[in-house]
């Protein structure tokens, strides 16, 4: 971190404290409060971290006002149209776009790690068939620390590297097998002659009884979904990975924690929740009823797939995802399906509605991804696992960055305590 060139003054009673201000390469200035408690004896209060930078990072930048998302400085729309997922994985992990030779090497390494330890098949079989694939992913990824002992020592850079490659390579196999298990079909092993996205589709949709050919338009759309979810700076699941890792936990445990956090409907679970909501709405004429519910303060219902903590203009991922949805639906010849009609009409009405405009609520990435995944034939329960496999590289890049950072220390937030002050224990007969 560079030296602070500015400072802020905080006055409490008759005492003043100078707080250094750091200027980032992009985004708002940051007031450094690390010494505040030691010097002034006060904490800061920020539930939900709406104004708190928890780390410094060089990986991803979001300008919520402009609707801008950059990975290592490159805009997401350029990456989505010109690049492919494994190249973006390299970019996120190592900071630069690879040369052709470096990319070939990286792709070979990832491809060679796609198989799971055969013993893990038994682990999958221990789950109930109706287990949610996210529950299986949390369990299986956490269990990787019991299978890959040679990549759990976080102090060894070589082991960190192998763990990173293993996680990126094996996550599609884990997600596809969670899916196969839930629909009662045999596991399909990875194929090294297919690219990352095509291999995933093959593992999800092939069956031993017949040949399965991956349509290149569908694998391109799948790859784009992976790209658009690859990283999103310090969101809830990434912060969870960083916090879990700050205690020195092994990478598989930390990524399992990230997957668990992603599952919630306010985060990665929104894509499943959004499609279920569209199905519940069912027909265009019922949209006003749901819009009214979303606006009603006494009703906890929210329009899933709308709104974002950081984007307050538009979600640049949604713009690309919307184009992709049109391409896929066109290819599959399903432009007029009722679900899509509800989605399009809901989007139109919500964007014109004063409530949504005033609160800056517009469709986010999860609004369109579910429509594509449904059209491809995935069950809704697979939407969030696909988000998790795409986000794995982001979690790992942030985890690697954090471990290499000399300022890394255990995360330990403070609190505003409003409970009882010290009181004496009361024996049970006197309560």
Q: Which residues are catalytic?
A: 308, 366
Closer CB to ligand CMC, 4 or 310, in the complex: 310
- Residue 361 is a binding residue for ligand CMC (CB under 6 A): yes
**Residue 366 binding ligand CMC, by CB under 6 A:** yes
Query: CB of residue 235 vs ligand CMC: minimum separation in angstroms?
Result: 5
Q: For residue 397, how many C-alpha atoms fall within 13 Å in the half-sphere facing its CB?
A: 25
Q: Which of 72, 267, 328, 371 binds ligand CMC (CB under 6 A)?
A: 267
* Shortest reach from residue 285's CB to ligand CMC, in Å: 20
The Cα–Cα gap between 53 and 171 comes to: 29
Contact with ligand CMC (CB under 6 A): which of 268, 316, 370, 394? 268
Cα(227)–Cα(241) distance, integer angstroms: 20
Q: Which is nearer to ligand CMC, 258 or 307 (CB)?
A: 307
Which tokens is 257 given?
A: 């924690």
User: Binding to ligand CMC by residue 115, rule CB under 6 A?
Assistant: no
Q: Which of 71, 65, 26 is nearest to 227 (CA)?
A: 71
Residue in 174, 394, 135, 141 with CA at minimum distance from that of residue 250: 141
Give the number of residues in contact with ligand CMC, rule: CB under 6 A.
20
Question: Nearest to residue 164, comparing CAs of 88, 110, 118, 238?
Answer: 110
How distant, in Å, are the alpha carbons of 21, 74, 200, 287, 314 from that of 28?
10, 19, 39, 39, 19
Span from 104-112, 282-290, 306-314, 413-421 in contact with ligand CMC (CB under 6 A): 306-314
Residues found in the chain: 431
Neighbours of 101 (CB within 10 A): 8
- The DSSP call for residue 347 is H
**Other CB atoms within 10 A of residue 284 CB:** 14
Closer residue to ligand CMC (CB): 113 or 293: 293
Question: Taking CB under 6 A as the rule, does residue 294 contact ligand CMC?
Answer: yes
Least spacing, CB of residue 317 vs ligand CMC, in Å: 8
Least spacing, CB of residue 355 vs ligand CMC, in Å: 8
Which x/- pattern over 219-258 shows residues binding ligand CMC (rule: CB under 6 A)?
-------------x--x-----------------------
Strands (E), 176-238: none
Could you tell me the smallest distance in angstroms from the CB atom of residue 368 to ligand CMC? Answer: 11
* Residues at the contact surface with ligand CMC, assessed by CB under 6 A: 232, 235, 266-268, 270, 294, 302-309, 359, 361, 364-366
């Amino acid at each position: 971190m560079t030296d602070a060139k500015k400072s802020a003054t905080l006055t409490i009673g008759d005492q003043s404290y100078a707080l250094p201000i750091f200027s980032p390469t992009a985004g708002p200035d940051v007031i450094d409060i690390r010494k505040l408690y030691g010097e002034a004896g006060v904490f800061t209060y920020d539930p939900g971290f709406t104004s708190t930078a928890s780390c410094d990072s060089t990986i991803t930048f979001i300008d919520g006002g402009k609707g801008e998302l950059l990975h290592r400085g490159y805009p997401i729309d350029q990456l989505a149209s010109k690049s492919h997922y494994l190249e973006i994985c390299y970019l996120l992990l190592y900071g630069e776009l690879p040369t052709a030779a470096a990319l070939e090497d990286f792709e070979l390494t990832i491809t060679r790690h796609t198989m799971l330890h055969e013993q893990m098949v038994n682990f999958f079989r221990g789950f109930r068939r109706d287990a949610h694939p996210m529950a299986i992913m949390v369990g299986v990824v956490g269990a990787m620390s019991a299978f890959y002992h040679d990549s759990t020592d976080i102090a060894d850079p070589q082991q960190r590297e192998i763990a990173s490659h293993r996680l990126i390579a094996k996550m599609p196999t884990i997600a596809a097998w969670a899916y196969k298990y839930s629909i009662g079909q045999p596991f399909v092993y990875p194929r090294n002659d297919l690219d990352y996205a095509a291999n995933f589709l093959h593992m999800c949709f092939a069956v031993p009884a017949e040949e399965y050919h991956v349509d290149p338009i569908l694998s391109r759309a799948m790859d784009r979904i992976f790209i658009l979810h690859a990283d999103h700076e310090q969101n809830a699941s990434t912060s969870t990975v960083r916090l879990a890792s700050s205690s020195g936990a092994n990478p598989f445990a930390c990524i399992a924690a990230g997957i668990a956090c992603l599952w919630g409907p306010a985060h990665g679970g929104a894509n499943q929740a959004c499609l279920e909501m569209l199905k519940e709405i069912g027909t265009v004429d019922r949209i006003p009823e749901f819009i009214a519910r979303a606006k009603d303060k006494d009703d906890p219902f929210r329009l899933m797939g709308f709104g974002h903590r950081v984007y307050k203009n538009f979600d640049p991922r949604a713009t690309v995802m919307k184009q992709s949805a049109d391409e896929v639906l066109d290819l599959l010849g399903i432009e007029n399906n009722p679900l899509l009609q509800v989605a399009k009409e809901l989007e139109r009405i919500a964007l014109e509605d004063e409530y949504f405009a005033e609160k800056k609520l517009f469709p986010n990435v999860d609004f369109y991804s579910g429509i594509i995944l449904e059209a491809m034939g995935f069950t809704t329960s697979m939407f969030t696992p696909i988000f998790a496999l795409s986000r794995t590289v982001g979690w790992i890049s942030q985890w690697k960055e954090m471990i290499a950072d000399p300022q890394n220390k255990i995360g330990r937030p403070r609190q505003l305590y409003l409970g009882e002050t010290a009181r004496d224990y009361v024996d049970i007969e006197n309560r």
